[in-house]
Every structure is written in C-alpha cells, then in structure tokens.
Amino acid sequence: MSRFVVFVAAAVLVCGAYPASAQTAAVPSPQVVTRGEATVKRAPDQAWLTVATETRDVRAEEARRKSAEATTAVQAALKGTGLAPDAIRTTGYSLSPEMEWNNGRGTVKGYVVRNQVEVRVDDLNKLGDVIDAANATKSTALTISGPRFALKDQQAAETDALRLAVQAAMTRAQAMATGAKRTLGNIVRIEDQGAPRLMQPQPMFRMAAGAQAADVQTPITPGEIEVHAEVTVTVELR
C-alpha cells in the first residue's frame, strides 16, 4: 500500500511540472536589418566587337558566293592584327529574298546575305587596329558594332564589391545599434540582392563599303567598368 502511494505522488509531481516547462518559451532577441551597397571601378582589359557583312545579288547562289568571299577577306584582315586563334566566331548567318511590292503583289527582286561574327580583343592596344582592319577590305557593306568592354577576371571585381557592400551594411548596423544604446551580436543572415551589376558605356561604330581608309588609327577610350553590389544583413542586438 505504501509503494502505491509513492508511485501516485511521483506521477502527480511529474504531471504538475510538465505544463510549467511547456509554458517557458525563448524570447527572440531583437535584430537590426540593414542594406549595404558598394561600387568598384576597374579598367577594362578585354573588348568585344560584332562585325557583319551584307551582300546582294539577283541570284541567291551569287549572293552567297559574294558573302563567302567578303567574310573570308574580313576574317583574314582581323586575324592579321594578331588576334588569338579562338577570338573570332560566327554568331549569325542568313540568306533571304528581297521583295518588291506592287498592288499588293510581291516579287523577288534579289537576295541578301548577312554573315555576322563576334570578335574578342584581349589586348586593348590593338582595338583601334582591329576596327580599321575590318574596314580596310571595303569589299562589301560592313557593320561594326561595339565595342563592349569587359574584365577577364570579372569574378574578382564582383567579390570586392560584395565584400565592401557587407562592410557598408555592418557600418550602418553599428550606427543603429549605437543610437539604440545597444551592441551588435551575431550575424543572423546575409542576403545578396541579385548578381552584381556591370555598368559601362556602349559606343557604336557603323562603317559601310566604299568608306575611305583612315589616315590615323581609330581612337578608343575605354574608360572604367563599374561593378555594383547590394546586400541585406540581419544582426542580433544585445
């Protein structure tokens, strides 16, 4: 009988203690959320050009042949500037009829062939030479667009921008904590607000067959590339 009473008393003690522990909930610590931005500037060390030829003829086969000759000549001139073997690649080719409309009826008056290549220039000192070499052939209508400047090691610039953005966010968080007469605790979360953005001017050149050869090299001013990053940082307050 005595053992039964002890068991019941122990059960009541456990049951009575459980609700008290269940009601004890951890109070979340206050937090501060800040945004940080940073922009790093780098001199470009790479450029991209788009060079397109355009040929016409009343016969499709003849238009195609003229295009092949013109594009081959342009690519040979480009390679003659010392570009890397893999610096030229075809990005577009089309052969289409040119229509002439009369009273709602269309007739084919000829064919036009467009052949487009992308050119990578790894030495910006050669950029003017590359542009002038492409135009030197003057064997067909020619369009040169660009250059688009770039960084060979863009990842390094993005890393620097992100690092500085986090530092900026932490500086803001520290100022807010000081204003609240608190101190910063552990970092709870860091969020990258999208991929770092590359900002640069985009000059445009357009040259056509029959243009006179330049007496001097085409001047190019690359300027600087800006890489911008934004982050959001959440930090505990103590």
Whether the pLDDT of residue 6 is over 90: the answer is no
Q: Is the pTM of this model over 0.85?
A: no
Please tell me the predicted confidence (pLDDT) of residue 27: 63
Q: Taking residues 195-203, what's their average pLDDT?
A: 61
State the chain's mean pLDDT as an integer.
Answer: 84
SS3 94: strand
133 within 8 A of 207, measured Cβ to Cβ: no
Q: What's the N-to-C CA distance of the chain in angstroms?
A: 56
Please tell me the predicted confidence (pLDDT) of residue 25: 58
Reference 126, options 70, 73, 77; nearest CA is 77
Ranges of each domain in the chain:
45-151+202-216
pLDDT per residue as tens digits for the range 71-91: 999 999 999 999 999 999 999
pLDDT per residue as tens digits for the range 27-85: 678 999 999 999 999 999 999 999 999 999 999 999 999 999 999 999 999 999 999 99
The phi, psi pair for 70, rounded to 5°, reads: -65, -45
The crossing angle, in degrees rounded to 10, of helices 127-136 and 60-79 is: 150
Calculate the alpha carbon distances from 45 to 121, 130, 152, 158 in Å: 9, 15, 7, 15
Reference 199, options 228, 222, 223; nearest CA is 228
Q: Return the CATH class of domain 45-151+202-216.
A: alpha beta
pLDDT per residue as tens digits for the range 218-236: 778 888 999 999 999 999 9
Whether the pLDDT of residue 159 is over 70: the answer is yes
